[in-house]
Structure 1
Amino acid sequence: MQLTEKIRIHPTPEQEEVLWHLSEQCRLLYNFALAERRKEWVLNNLRDSFQVFPWGKTEYKVNYKKQQNDLPAIKEKYPRYSVVYSKVLQMVLRGLDGDYSSFIEQRVNGDKNAHPPGFKGKPYFTTMIYNQSGFKIKDQTISLSHFYNEIPLVFELLRTYSRVYQVTVFQKDGKYYLGIVHEVTEKPYVDNGLYQAIDLGITKTITAINTESKFFEATNPRPDKYWNPKVDELQARRDHCIKGSKHWHRLDRAKNKLTRKCSNQIKDIQHKLTRKMVDNTRANTIIIGDLDVKKMAQSKKTKTKLPVKAKKSLNRSTQNNGYLSQFVRFLTYKAELIGKKVIEIDERKTSKRCYVCGKEHDMPLWKRTMNCDCGNVIDRDRNSSIYIMLRFLSQNAMWTGYQQFVGNLRQTGLMVPKLAPQAYS
């Protein structure tokens, strides 16, 4: 497994000047390549900007391969780019390719709100990626290659690594960091026949049920409810100042500091919760619903198909719930390190369909209890976790595990499903 470790570095003023000069060349190359792609998009309006082959492959005329092949000529014409290690410049183009390919894919899929990547501003530090080469680690020190001047970029590390694949240099809140992608040993996964299904929510971070029909719930502390009013107040005061003034910058720094504290608290809560979950469950397989967090925050539409502004509180509850996708990533890598596995499955309508009879209900988010005609009265999150477990067992044809799970539901006093197992897939 590959993990990324974030390490803060303290460059000298001379080293800081070198880093900013290299970052500036990366920024110029990014903007130059982005301008070329935007020009292609405007001139062709997507009609002739790609070629569709008979086997369905799509290849854009201005793509990463074309811009990478143009890189030697660009460096010859503009020698200032030669001070940056060649692999770093290639990774700048690859990063742009990922950003722009995502924009194209969203537009092709009909998302008219998708916008192309923006140009990078001069005051911001451009991330530099040394992939596979350009760095050397020896005796808990790392040196980065460059050709700007004779000042070496050598920094101390906290420990040694068995194998390093990539080193990223970036800045955040005025501090410099290294992101080191290294290899770690993970235990092999063994299916022990025990499973745990998890439903992610807003009021409760997780609602989990195992094959023994025992529930585990964790409420969300919601630190954002404490920090958001303070951030909003500072932002309102900042917006009434002249942009760029000393007072504007002072309020902006204060706002960013509070936002960073909120983010760090959420991340700390998620790390502790995911560690507790993977350590305290005997199940080697964890099933979790595959949420589309991006769509959860979009504005709703009425029956007349007129756009209606989504409630600010609802969007904040969704996005500030602790970044649900981040929670899944933490849970996944922690589970794999100790020989467990996280499987994501489709969870559409699991909160709306009764797991007993399959009837679909109108369940707005404010309605927390499902009251079905079949007599099933249950919390919507618990219903969803049971439905996720039944769907996983039926999709994988685990009939023995299915019967055991249903039997355990009966012993705990919960209603048992009346539908055939295939109905949940």
Structure 2
Amino acid sequence: MIVVEFKAKGKATQYTAINEAIRTAQFVRNKCIRYWMDNKSVGQKELYRYNTALRAEFPFVKTLNSHACQASVERAYSSIARFYDNCKRQVPGQKGYPKFKKNCRSVEYKTSGWSLSETRKQIVFTDKKAIGKLRLKGTWDLNFYQIDQIKRVRLVKRADGYYVQFVIRIDHQVETNSTGRIIGLDVGLKEFYTDSNGHNEPNPRFYRKSQKRLKSRQKRVSRKKKGSTNRKKAINRLGRVHLKISRQRQEHAKRLARCVIQSNDLVAYEDLRIKNLVTNHCLAKSINDAGWYQFRKWLEYFGVKLGKITVAVNPAYTSQNCSNCGAVVKKSLSTRTHNCQCGLELDRDWNAARNILNLALGTTGHVGTWILNPNASGDSTSTQAGAILSEQVGSVNEESPCL
């Protein structure tokens, strides 16, 4: 699956209709969550039947395409299924109990309720929400894909406008030559990452650099009267700053991940639990600003796309153990240099990256064979090399250009 994104251009009345469609989808999802709370034994089939009853009861729900309503039901059941799965696996901490959505920003259509023009530059939504024809602004060419390959169409609202996303089912794997190189990565706050060869990438700190501007925009929001038009405008300007930061962080992670995967046959990294790390209020802002999860997500995606091996290893003691002799050298976070009795002296992040690579090589016994003969094993072997890494293959491409 790939996701192709365009900016939607229309009239103010069409944008109002999109907002109404989004609110209707949110209404259906929240009603399904409430129905499940009142009847804990219901499943997805019962929620589909309840959706049919909602369409008969509320006229504004019936004006939304039936498949879009079904997609909202699937979103509701997805949160329910995730909650049950977390309980079954005994995930520590909160289990993600389904919550009501207050500010949804997207509505999803399936294979009906929309049609593309002959030039594939416009899309027409044919349900009774009166969205009508929207112009598609972007660099992608939908003529490369068949209509039956488009499985979902999403309308997304952001601070800088409205977007149309096409979820397309294609085989998106690229054949590449073997480089014969392997690498281990240790992410950090001082440097974005340090590899097992000693190279480090600087941390851009996009949020920290924009804090002054964010503070100014937030002050303007707080000074406006609640519910006024000027306050809504100030909130939108604040949202645009946050949107720019998130896009900068996303593009930075994507660019680095692509370069790392293209340059190596095996990439090892830490299996970090970001949710647990951000509980430290002293480091939470810096950890979120670094964007480690996005970097890992793109590493896994490009690993699948380019047929390379990506392995997530347990990060325990990777900073304390010596990568040369294996001895334990305890050090605090303020100690930036690793000094061992065996004579090894190097940066602690470099030492950790070497440990991560050693652990990955111990996990994947068939790596040497794969590097010598990349065609000896299928795609599933390369993507499943890290057995402890879950959901590696199920990623969806979001390589949409910045608009």
Settle same-fold status: TM greater than 0.5: yes
Distance in structure 1 (CA, Å) of the matches to 2:254 and 2:225:
40
Matches within 5 A, 1:98-113: 98-106=78-86, 109=90, 111-113=92-94
Residues 1:266 and 2:249 aligned together: yes
Over 3 Å counting, the alpha-carbon distance change for 1:367 and 1:315 in structure 2 is: farther
Task: State the match for 1:348 in structure 2.
Answer: 316
List alignment gaps of at least 5 residues for structure 1.
41-48, 50-60, 300-309, 402-425
Distance in structure 2 (CA, Å) of the matches to 1:400 and 1:184:
27
Give the structure, 1 or 2, with the largest relative contact order (CA under 8 Å, sep 6 or more): 2
Deviations 1:216-236 (CA, angstroms, capped at 9, x unpaired): 321112122211243245435
Q: Which amino acid aligns with 1:177?
A: Y
Distance in structure 1 (CA, Å) of the matches to 2:356 and 2:114:
46
CA contact (8 A) 2:18 2:131 kept: no
Task: State the match for 2:27 in structure 1.
Answer: 28
Distance in structure 2 (CA, Å) of the matches to 1:233 and 1:333:
37
Matches within 5 A, 1:58-77: 61-77=41-57
Over 3 Å counting, the alpha-carbon distance change for 1:144 and 1:220 in structure 2 is: same
Task: State the match for 1:10 in structure 2.
Answer: 9
Structure possessing the higher radius of gyration over alpha carbons: 1
Over 3 Å counting, the alpha-carbon distance change for 1:274 and 1:111 in structure 2 is: closer
Deviations 1:61-112 (CA, angstroms, capped at 9, x unpaired): 1332320133223322334322222221111111122233334555663655
**1:25: how far off?**
2.0
Distance in structure 1 (CA, Å) of the matches to 2:78 and 2:333:
34
Q: How many residues get paired?
A: 360
Residues 1:286 and 2:267 aligned together: yes
Residues 1:195 and 2:164 aligned together: no
**1:392: how far off?**
1.6
Deviations 1:315-370 (CA, angstroms, capped at 9, x unpaired): 1111101x211112233334544443433333332122222333344444333222
Residues 1:179 and 2:165 aligned together: yes
Distance in structure 1 (CA, Å) of the matches to 2:333 and 2:223:
36
Residues 1:37 and 2:20 aligned together: no
CA contact (8 A) 2:20 2:129 kept: no
Over 3 Å counting, the alpha-carbon distance change for 1:361 and 1:63 in structure 2 is: farther
CA contact (8 A) 2:14 2:130 kept: no
CA contact (8 A) 2:21 2:129 kept: no
Find 1:388's aligned residue among 338, 356, 365.
Answer: 356
Distance in structure 2 (CA, Å) of the matches to 1:399 and 1:101:
36
**1:391: how far off?**
1.2
Distance in structure 2 (CA, Å) of the matches to 1:165 and 1:349:
45
**1:297: how far off?**
0.4
Distance in structure 2 (CA, Å) of the matches to 1:126 and 1:258:
17
Judge which range, 164-173 or 390-399, deviates more. 390-399
Task: State the match for 2:399 in structure 1.
Answer: none
Distance in structure 1 (CA, Å) of the matches to 2:334 and 2:37:
43
Distance in structure 2 (CA, Å) of the matches to 1:328 and 1:270:
8
TM-score for both structures, normalised by structure 2: 0.77
Distance in structure 2 (CA, Å) of the matches to 1:296 and 1:84:
42
Residues 1:329 and 2:297 aligned together: yes
Matches within 5 A, 1:206-285: 206-209=193-196, 214-235=197-218, 238-239=221-222, 243-245=226-228, 248-279=231-262, 281=263, 283-285=264-266
Task: State the match for 1:143 in structure 2.
Answer: 123
Over 3 Å counting, the alpha-carbon distance change for 1:320 and 1:396 in structure 2 is: same
CA contact (8 A) 1:68 1:90 kept: yes
Find 1:378's aligned residue among 346, 349, 361.
Answer: 346
Task: State the match for 1:320 in structure 2.
Answer: 289
CA contact (8 A) 1:353 1:360 kept: yes
**1:381: how far off?**
1.4
